[in-house]
Each structure stands twice: as C-alpha cells, then as structure tokens.
C-alpha cells in the first residue's frame, strides 16, 4: 500500500495556500479605474512600449476641430475595452489552470478505458496509478464549470462574452447577429446542464470501473473484469461525443464567431498527451520510492512511446487545422489565427517547439525512452507546452493583447498543482497499487519490449 508522506502532503497544502493568496491578489489588482487605464495607455504611447494605435489615432484626430469630441469618445471606448480586458485576466488565468488539470484527468480516464476495451496485456500494472489520477476528474471538472458560471454571474461575462444577454437582444447596441443565431445552443442554462451531463457520465464510469477493479482483487473468477470490459466499451462511445461537445462549450465558445470541425479531436490529442505524461511521471516517482516493483523499463518505454506518438498526432491535427484555414482564407476563420500570430507570437509558435520539436528530438530514440530521468525531463517540457496550448486557446478571446505570464497565471497553476497532488496521492492510498486478479497481470509482470 502507498502511504501519502507528510512532506508531500504539506507541500501540496502549501501550494494550495500560496496559490489561493496569489489568486486573491490577482483579482484585487485587476480592478483599475478608467482614469488609471487612460494614464497607463498614455504612458505606453509616450514611452514607445507598443504604441496603442487606437489612442494614437484619437490623439491625431483630436487636433482637427470638430473631430475632437469624436476622438475623445473613441479614446474613452478603447480605455473601457482595455479596462475590461484587465479585469478578465485573473478569471481567464484560473480557468486555464483549472481546465489544464481537468483535461489531464479526463485524458487518463479515456486512456484507462482503452486499456480495458482493448484487453491490453502490458498495462495492468499501471491501472491503479491511472485510477488515482482520475480521482481528480469529478472535483476538477466541477471546478471548471463553477468558474465558468461565476465568471458570468459575478465576473460580468469575463470568459464567455456570449453569456451577455444583450448580445441576443435586437434592441441593444451590443446585439450580435451571429451569436443570436447560436442562441439555441449557446445559452447559460443549457451550457450548465450539458456540463453536468458530461461530468455525471464521466464520474459514473470512473466510479463503477474503480468499484469493479477493487472487487476483482477478491473475486474467484473474472466476472468483474468482464464488467469492466463492457462498461469501458460503452463509455468510450459516450466519451467521444461528450469530449467533442465539451470542447465546443468550454473552450471554442470563448470565440463565438469562430468554429473548427477538427477542434474536438485537437483538444483530445492534447489531453491524451498530457494524461499519459502524468501517468509516466507518477509511475517513475512511485518506482523511485520502492513501489511498483514489477514495473520495468519496458513499461516506461511504452509510456514514453505513447507520449511521442500522441505528440505527433497533436502536431498533425494542429497543422491540419491551421493549413486548411490559412488556405481557404475565409475572414471569420483566419481572424482566429491572425489574432494569435500578431498578439501571441511567442507563445503561439513557442508551443510548437515545446509540443512537437522537443518530444520528437527527445523521444525518438528508443533507448532514451527507457531512462527515467530523461522521460521526466521530456514530460516536464510536454506539460509546459500543453499548458501554453490551453493558454493560447483562451487568453486571446478574453484579454486580447493584455496577456502576460505573471501573478494570476503562476499562482493559479500553483493552486491547482497542489490540489491535483493532494487528491491524486490521497486516492493512491485507498487500494493496493497492483491489481491481484486481473487476468493479464502476469503478462504485464513479464512484459518486455
């Protein structure tokens, strides 16, 4: 049995406390008055640090007699827009971090179900590690949905602009014809209801698969394993639909004018890479503590092989989505990438290096996949890269060019890292780390690549 060490427990709690304090500071620091924002914009313009084109235009127009009033009004509107972006930043930062860790747990749950549905013989020694990681899914997904709801009811639609009822009101200045056309899908009650349905389905599968896994340890036949096989096959059908819809709801709808038919697959590839990476990291950690004695370098090799393969799959989907939109050059589609290339140049292209180039160079060699510290190094790079990927999907729509990796982003990650560690390692203490009567356990123990 695994014992959650007091040192690791204290570290996880400390991360949560420090993260919560930083998040609170980020929210307090995001409330800027309109005069403060105007002063900030004026300093940016006069200091040459990225002269604001709207402010510069307003200043130019202000010298032309009758246009002075219009220029001042335009400057005020722009300042209000920037004020709103600054206020959005802590909401977006905590949402990015919450979604990132939730998608790790969901990716592991899908990978876990695949092992049962495929009756894989190499992985039974790792199934309890996967069960521990998926313990985070229920609280993690509920937190994501809660942040989305609070950003509407408290944060004045800081993440999802379509939640503003004025956008579907024909008499309002904010009326948006495209958003109004999607009102049947994009409305707050249905958004929350769909989210609860997704979470309920995922959590129910996790509950029963865990229940059957533990029951199989003490059974005298394989009936619980057969039940695990059947529910895994059914869950994967449910998962592939709900994962796509979740991607549309929880990520793609931050840009309600934009859509991509590849988006569900793109998000799936990212969560599988991140999920398998975390399985590898925790497995290596437990083995270093003298646990999982039958796990050998061939198991680590296969996990690293999946990290490599899913990274290539992610790159293929990223390029397919980008290339098709670039080639068709439809204005409402290319705007999505133009915004990211112009305002997020470093993180946008940097994530390609982190998510494709590094995994390809580090994990292509078969021998390196067997070296634990090398897999850990590659895994850290992969996780950072996929955090940046989620960052790129959310931030441009909510904070525009006012992005930065600062207090809200760093402390949000610290908080959810601590929460993830606490829940996962607590779950690992609840059952033996090795299944006893899985019919493929001997094959897994004798697995050699």
Residue 52 has pLDDT above 70, yes or no: no
Task: Confirm if 130 and 111 have CB atoms less than 8 A apart.
Answer: yes
pLDDT in tens, 319-351: 999 999 999 998 888 999 999 999 999 999 999
Q: How far apart are CA 411 and CA 403, in angstroms?
A: 15
Whether the predicted pLDDT of 210 surpasses 50:
yes
User: Mind giving me the DSSP string for 431-444?
Assistant: S-SS-SS-TTHHHH
Q: Is the pLDDT of residue 58 over 80?
A: no
- Max Cα separation, the chain? 91
- Dihedral sign, CA of 140, 145, 150, 152? positive
Burial (0-12, 13-18, 19+ Cβ within 10 Å), 135: buried
The mean pLDDT of the chain is 91
Q: Residue 425: which pLDDT band, with cuts at 50, 70 and 90? A: very high
Between CA 364 and CA 252 the distance in angstroms is 32
At 88-123, the pLDDT tens digits run 999 999 999 999 999 999 999 999 999 999 999 999
**Per-domain boundaries in the chain:** 6-30+83-435
Residue 57 pLDDT level (bands cut at 50, 70, 90): very low
- Note the pLDDT of residue 200: 98
Question: Cα–chain-centroid distance for residue 94?
Answer: 11
User: Is the pLDDT assigned to residue 268 strictly greater than 90?
Assistant: yes
- In sequence order, the 6+-apart residues with CB closer than 8 A to the CB of 413 are 19, 97, 100, 387
Lowest mean pLDDT, pick from 102-111, 175-184, 242-251, 265-274: 175-184
User: What is the tens place of the pLDDT at every residue in 288-297?
Assistant: 999 999 999 9
* CA contacts within 13 A on the Cβ side of 39: 5
Percent pLDDT > 70 in the chain is 94
Does residue 167 carry a pLDDT above 60? Answer: yes
pLDDT at residue 47 above 70?
Answer: no
What pLDDT does 60 receive?
A: 44
CB 266 within 8 A of CB 392: no
Q: Who has greater pLDDT, 45 or 183?
A: 183
Q: Is residue 295 within 8 Å of residue 304, measured between CB atoms? A: no
Kindly tell me if the per-residue pLDDT of 66 is higher than 70: no
Please check the confidence at residue 82 and state whether its pLDDT lies above 70: yes
> Phi/psi zone of residue 156: left (φ > 0), alpha (ψ -120 to 50 degrees), beta?
left
Cα distances (angstroms) measured from residue 161 to each of 156, 168, 246, 252, 336: 9, 11, 17, 12, 16
Q: What is the pLDDT of residues 123-156, one digit of tens each?
A: 999 999 999 999 999 999 999 999 999 999 998 8
**Distances from the Cα of 249 to the Cαs of 88, 209, 378, in angstroms?**
18, 27, 31
> Model confidence over 346-392: pLDDT tens digits?
999 999 999 999 999 989 988 999 999 999 999 999 999 999 999 99
Q: Which of 3-7, 51-55, 155-159, 430-434 has the lowest mean pLDDT?
A: 51-55
- Categorize the per-residue pLDDT at 85 as very low, low, confident or very high, splitting at 50, 70 and 90: confident
Q: Residue 59: is its pLDDT beyond 50?
A: no
Q: Report the pLDDT value the prediction gives residue 46, as an integer from 0 to 100.
A: 77
114 burial level (CB within 10 Å; 0-12, 13-18, 19+): middle
Residue 56's pLDDT is what? 42
């Amino acid at each position: 049995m695994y014992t959650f060490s007091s040192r690791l427990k204290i570290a996880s709690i400390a991360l949560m406390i420090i993260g919560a304090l930083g998040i609170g500071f980020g929210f307090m620091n995001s409330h800027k008055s309109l005069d403060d924002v105007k002063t900030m914009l004026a300093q940016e313009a006069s200091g040459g640090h990225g002269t604001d084109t709207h402010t510069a235009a307003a200043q130019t127009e202000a010298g032309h007699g009758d246009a002075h009033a219009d220029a001042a009004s335009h400057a005020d509107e722009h300042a209000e827009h920037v004020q709103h972006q600054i206020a959005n930043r802590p909401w977006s930062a905590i949402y990015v971090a919450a979604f990132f860790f939730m998608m790790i747990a969901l990716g592991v749950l899908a990978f876990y179900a695949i092992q049962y549905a495929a009756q894989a013989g190499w992985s039974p020694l790792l199934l309890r590690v996967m069960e521990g990681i998926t313990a985070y899914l229920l609280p993690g997904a509920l937190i994501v949905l809660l942040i989305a709801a609070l950003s509407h009811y408290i944060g004045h639609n800081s993440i999802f602009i379509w939640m503003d009822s004025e956008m579907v009101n024909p008499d309002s200045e904010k009326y948006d014809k495209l958003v109004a056309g999607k009102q049947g899908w994009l409305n707050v009650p249905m958004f929350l209801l769909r989210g609860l349905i997704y979470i309920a389905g995922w959590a129910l599968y996790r509950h029963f698969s865990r229940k059957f896994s533990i029951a199989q340890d003490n059974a005298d036949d394989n009936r619980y394993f057969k039940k695990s096989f059947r529910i895994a096959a059914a869950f994967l059908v449910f998962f592939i639909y709900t994962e796509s819809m979740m991607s549309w709801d929880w990520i793609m709808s931050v840009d309600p004018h934009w859509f991509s038919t590849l988006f569900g697959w793109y998000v799936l590839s990212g969560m599988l890479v991140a999920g398998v990476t975390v399985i590898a990291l925790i497995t290596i950690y437990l083995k270093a503590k003298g646990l999982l004695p039958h796990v050998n370098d061939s198991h680590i090799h296969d996990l690293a092989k999946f990290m490599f393969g899913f990274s290539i799959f992610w790159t293929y989907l990223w390029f397919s989505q980008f290339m098709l939109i670039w080639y068709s050059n439809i204005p409402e589609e290319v705007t999505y990438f133009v915004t990211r290339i112009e305002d997020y140049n470093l993180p946008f292209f940097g994530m390609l290096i982190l998510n494709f180039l590094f995994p390809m160079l580090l994990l292509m060699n078969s021998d390196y996949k067997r070296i634990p510290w090398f897999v850990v190094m590659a895994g850290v790079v992969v996780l950072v890269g996929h955090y940046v990927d989620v960052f790129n999907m959310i931030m441009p729509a909510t904070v525009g060019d006012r992005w930065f990796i600062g207090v809200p982003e760093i402390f949000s990650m610290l908080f959810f890292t601590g929460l993830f560690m606490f829940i996962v390692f607590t779950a690992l203490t609840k059952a033996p780390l090795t299944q006893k009567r899985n019919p493929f356990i001997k094959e897994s123990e004798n697995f050699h690549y």
